[in-house]
Amino acid sequence: MNFYEMMFIQNPDLGEEDQEKLLTRLKNTIGKNGGGIIRIDDMGIRGLAYKIQKKPRGHYFLTYLEGPGSMIPEIERFLRIDENILRFVIVKLDRHTSRQDLEPKAEEKTGSVPENQQEEVAE
Amino acid sequence: MQNRQSNPRQRTYYKRKACRFCEDKKLPIDYKSPHILKDFITERGKILPRRITGTCSGHQKKLTLEIKRARIMALIPFTVHD
Q: What is the number of domains present in chain A?
A: 1
pLDDT in tens, B61-80: 999 999 999 999 999 999 99
Beta strand pairing call for A2-10 and A85-92: antiparallel
pLDDT at A115: 40
Report if residue A109 sits inside a domain: no
Question: Which chain B positions have a beta carbon within 8 Å of A7's beta carbon?
Answer: 31-32, 73
Q: Is the ipTM of this complex over 0.90?
A: no
B35 touches chain A (CB under 8 A): yes
User: Domain tally for chain B?
Assistant: 1
Secondary element (H or E) of residue A36: strand A36-52
Per the domain annotation, does A116 fall within a domain? no
B81 in contact with chain A, both atoms CB, cutoff 8 A: no
Domain encompassing residue A77: 2-96
Answer yes or no: are the C-beta atoms of A2 and A37 closer than 8 Å: no
pLDDT in tens, A87-104: 999 999 988 777 777 777
Q: How many residues does chain A have?
A: 123
In chain B, count H helices and then E strands: 4, 0
Domain-located, residue A122: no
> Is position B35 within any domain?
yes
Give the separation between CA B80 and CA A32, rounded to whole angstroms. Answer: 42
CATH of the domain at A39: 3.30.70.60
Q: Which domain holds residue B47?
A: 30-77
- 3 state SS of A74: helix
